[in-house]
Amino acid sequence: MVRTELENAAESLEHAADAAADETARERLRNQATQLADLATADRGPDHGRLARHEHILTEIADDEGGDVATHVDAALESLRAFRETVEGV
């Protein structure tokens, strides 16, 4: 099963990583992109807790980096939140 919103979030994070000037931020963004891309095709989708952790990390990076990085991260967060609305529970 492909989870399109998570794929979209991963793509936005790749764009954010390309825009990041800081190597640490680039690495963190690519790591998040890889994790979300893996979740997009996993047999079992992520739960609310895991998605919340991703949101927290991405919000932190966007606040630290600003500019184009924040714009791309915000797009990723929109996709992530759209997917989260479809997750059962909490």
pLDDT digits (tens, 9 = 90+) for 26-83: 999 999 999 999 999 999 889 999 999 999 999 999 999 999 999 999 999 999 999 9
Average confidence (pLDDT) over 7-26? 96
Measured in degrees and rounded to the nearest 5, phi and psi for residue 85 equal: -65, -20
Of the chain, the end-to-end C-alpha distance in Å amounts to: 22
Say what the pTM is: 0.92
- Kindly calculate the radius of gyration of the chain based on its CA atoms and give it in whole angstroms: 12
